Structure 1
Amino acid sequence: MEWTVGYWQISIGRVYPTTEQLTRMYNTAAPCWHRHLQWLGYSRAYAKLFQSLQYSGVIADLHDGSTVCDCGIGTADFSLALAKTVSPKLHVTGVDISPEMLAKANQLLVRSGVDCQVYQSDVNNLPFDDNTFDLVLSAHMLEHSPNPTRGLQEMVRVLRPKAPLVLTVTRPGLLGWCIQWHWGNGCISPKQLTHLMAEAGLSDIRCYPFTFGLSRWTSIAGVGFKRS
């Protein structure tokens, strides 16, 4: 936005937190993050989403030993919900910029019997080969990026052909804007999310509402498949 006042031009533009700022914020939040997600109903909402995706066949090909990459894993709540729904014998690879979040994620996954590895890395430069994973996940990470297309393209790159990508983002609305004010993230509408996923090389894209807890007013899920 721009205004001209006399001989002055005033502009306001969106500024995202730097990687260093985000890392500090999430390192600070890590000790209580898992507990807060449970209190706010996100953990149960994630489980209900995966139950729906399992019923509709989206994740029907997952089995013991399937490889999963969770980008922006946080304290692994998204992966834990998947493992409880599908199988604890999945192999989960977690990526995050926050070492404190990664330490907590590793602890919780190991405690739940899930085989895992964690990497401190930015989603824009994932340290994995092309076509590596049977499923890529991301929960409330994409909206922190000033260039979400680049991060999505990296997630699609490491996904094997015809495999699904499942992600959640903060959607516009009063609560979404409150979250945005505190954490510095953006908000992404279903239409924007569908466009971003198609642009990154996904097809058969569908958006899913959440039906439980705070997430029903703050979040949406998007699912798409990598083109062969």
Structure 2
Amino acid sequence: MNSLRFEDLARTKRVGNPVVSPDGALVVFTVKSVNMKENRNEVHLHAFKEGEGVTQLTRQGTVNSNPQFSPSGDRLAFTSNRSGESQIWILPLDGGEAFQATKTPLGARQPVWMPDGKSLLAATTVYKELWDLKEVAKRAESEKDDKPTHHLVDELLFRHWDEWNDETLEHLFLFDIATGESKNLTPGPYPVPPRALAGDPDYAVSPDGTEIAFV
């Protein structure tokens, strides 16, 4: 019997985060692999359709996750770091390149479509005492070359996996896909939603789009 080695585990690809298209014909999921040369995990989106097998949908960036079909099923929103910070991208499933739907200064993740397919929700990083994205962008620009030499911790949650929070939290924003305009739905000195350690987004939209539930 052969022993299981570290290299065997590193070569094992992990499948997760499956979502099914509204018509039930397509399944999109994430595949996580280990890039030993670069010492990092990489996550890409794949699709399965009966009779056609599996197709890799994303190749740019190192992390492409949180896939969500549009209500009509013709577009796929997802989180990607291909432009630097994690942002929301949209891939037309009938052909064409993915385009960037959000351009927030500190990143956005976990898209949820509004029922009309014209806008979407996303957890968006802001500062604890600064919630307007224009002001957030000004501060982020002023601090981009000011790297901290130490961290003073006086509250939880001060670190999210392998990243320091650095006086930031997340607010729930509504983004108009056509215009790029955004609205902060949860302003305040508290995280809404809380930083997720795993699982689905901590918010959902009612079928008629008039109400949003969140943690």
Larger helix proportion, structure 1 or 2?
A: 1
Q: Normalising by the residue count of structure 2, what TM-score does the alignment of the two structures yield?
A: 0.28
Structure number with the bigger relative contact order (C-alpha 8 A, sep ≥ 6) is 1
Q: Which has the larger radius of gyration?
A: 2
Q: Normalising by the residue count of structure 1, what TM-score does the alignment of the two structures yield?
A: 0.27
Larger strand proportion, structure 1 or 2?
A: 2
